């Protein structure tokens, strides 16, 4: 029921269009043209999110994916070999998340061609997902008719469904030291680098427990080797599927910074930003029942898993739209070894098509 050749062609066209976060205009225009060809009402909001609607029967359903990719993502040259699509090794492939976009478009097109009834569809392809879910945060969710939805932004074996994801806090830090000549009078200075190192050494980082992680990802500072460094900037994060654990981890990281600064008689400015909120889907959620019924129809065994990362689904669930992400088959994402199997994309598209038909009241 899914046209494999057309699905692959659509995906290859998408990944060849440069769309690093913040530069999604061209790919958005391309996708809008495809949505209009499906008869959808299509528009872009001020940030560039592509929003489309199709009429149908039954309860509305949201389909969500994102248009942007991580870097290095310009000049992607996809290679199709042995049923596997990969990059040529110089860039990411962009299957995260153009596989989701291509699968969504193919499922709708296949339904229309085969006169399969569709539910009313809200289709949201966001921008800047990879840099803090900015597109989803900016989108006016009151425009959505759907109260449930499926996201196509997950890796792992086809059948994987994300049923919970963490909250995230980010830390933006400036550690202040005291400058001095490193050769003539180092004792008059206080190295902000030493203070930052002291603070980091007193933090628990990496895998804290099964629900919680933390990381210092960026550190910069200093001007020359003969100057005691008086300013260091840090950026870090903490994530947890438990609100209490996240608060405790974030507070511990902040405390480590202030205490290290106090030990040397200097200061640290720390700004904590709450990026997104955790969600957890219960087994009885209508969207999970829909996915399970559709999976049974196409011979897929669902696997319900927690995630360690955020996605548009975090923002949508926080707004009351119950969204479950399921796997498109993408593998080794955010690396130059990224790849995806054509067979997995086809299976994911079949799964989505079954969801659409069942949502519209169809039967096996």
CB 275 within 8 A of CB 132: yes
pLDDT of residue 58: 94
Domains within the chain, CATH numbers bracketed: 4-165+278-359 (3.40.630.10), 167-276 (3.30.70.360)
Clarify whether 68 is annotated catalytic. Answer: yes
pLDDT for 109: 98
Q: Which of 96, 97, 122, 129 is catalytic?
A: 129
H/E run at residue 194: helix 192-201
Q: Among 174, 182, 266, 170, which residue's Cα sits nearest to residue 220?
A: 174
Q: What is the chain's mean pLDDT, rounded? A: 97
Q: How far apart are CA 302 and CA 68, in angstroms?
A: 27
What parts of the chain have a pLDDT lower than 50? 364
Q: What is the pLDDT of residue 2?
A: 97
Check: CB of residue 312 under 8 Å from CB of residue 135: yes
Instruction: Determine the Cα–Cα distance for residues 290 and 292; give it in Å rounded to an integer.
Output: 5
| CA distance readout (Å), 310 to 75, 287, 317 | 27, 19, 11
What pLDDT was estimated at residue 298? 97
Give pLDDT tens digits for 333-358. Answer: 999 999 999 999 999 999 999 999 99
Q: Cα separation of 293 and 68, whole Å?
A: 31
pLDDT of residue 363: 56
Check whether the bond before 72 is cis (ω within 30° of 0).
yes
Instruction: Provide the angle, in degrees to the nearest 10, between the axes of the packed helices 95-113 and 342-359.
Output: 50
Task: Please report the pLDDT score of residue 364 as a whole number.
Answer: 45
How many CB atoms are located within 10 Å of the residue 143 CB?
12
Instruction: Summarize pLDDT for 112-158 with one digit per residue, the tens.
Output: 999 999 999 999 999 999 999 999 999 999 999 999 999 999 999 99
Q: What are phi and psi of 216, to 5 degrees?
A: -105, 115
Q: Is-catalytic flag, 97? A: no
């Amino acid at each position: 029921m899914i046209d494999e050749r057309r699905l692959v062609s659509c995906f290859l066209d998408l990944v060849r269009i440069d769309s690093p976060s913040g530069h999604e205009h061209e790919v958005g225009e391309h996708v809008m043209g495809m949505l209009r060809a499906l008869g959808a009402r299509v528009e872009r909001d001020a940030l560039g999110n592509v929003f489309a609607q199709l009429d149908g029967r039954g309860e509305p359903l949201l389909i969500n994916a994102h248009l942007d990719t991580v870097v290095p993502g310009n000049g992607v040259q996809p290679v199709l070999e042995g049923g596997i699509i990969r990059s040529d090794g110089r860039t990411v492939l962009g299957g995260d998340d153009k596989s989701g976009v291509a699968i969504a478009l193919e499922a709708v097109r296949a339904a229309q061609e085969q006169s399969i009834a569709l539910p009313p569809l809200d289709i949201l392809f966001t921008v800047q997902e990879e840099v803090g879910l900015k597109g989803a945060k900016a989108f006016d969710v009151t425009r959505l008719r759907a109260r449930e939805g499926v996201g196509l932004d997950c890796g792992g074996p086809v059948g994987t469904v994300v049923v919970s994801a963490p909250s995230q806090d980010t830390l933006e830090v400036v550690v202040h030291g005291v400058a001095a000549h490193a050769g003539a009078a180092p004792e008059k200075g206080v190295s902000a680098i030493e203070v930052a190192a002291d603070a980091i050494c007193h933090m628990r980082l990496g895998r804290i427990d099964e629900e919680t992680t933390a990381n210092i990802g960026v550190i910069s500072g200093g001007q020359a080797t003969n100057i005691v460094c008086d300013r260091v900037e840090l950026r870090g994060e903490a994530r947890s599927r438990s609100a209490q654990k996240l608060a405790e981890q974030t507070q511990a990281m902040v405390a480590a910074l202030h205490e290290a600064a106090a030990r040397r008689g200097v200061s640290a400015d720390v700004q904590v930003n709450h990026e997104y909120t955790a969600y957890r889907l219960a087994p009885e959620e209508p969207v999970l029942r829909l996915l399970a019924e559709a999976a049974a129809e196409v011979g897929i065994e669902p696997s319900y898993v927690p995630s360690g990362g955020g996605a548009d689904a975090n923002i949508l669930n926080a707004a009351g739209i119950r969204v479950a992400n399921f796997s498109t088959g993408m593998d080794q994402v955010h690396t130059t070894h990224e790849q995806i199997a054509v067979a997995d994309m086809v299976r994911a598209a079949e799964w989505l098509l079954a969801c659409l038909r069942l949502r519209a009241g169809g039967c096996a």
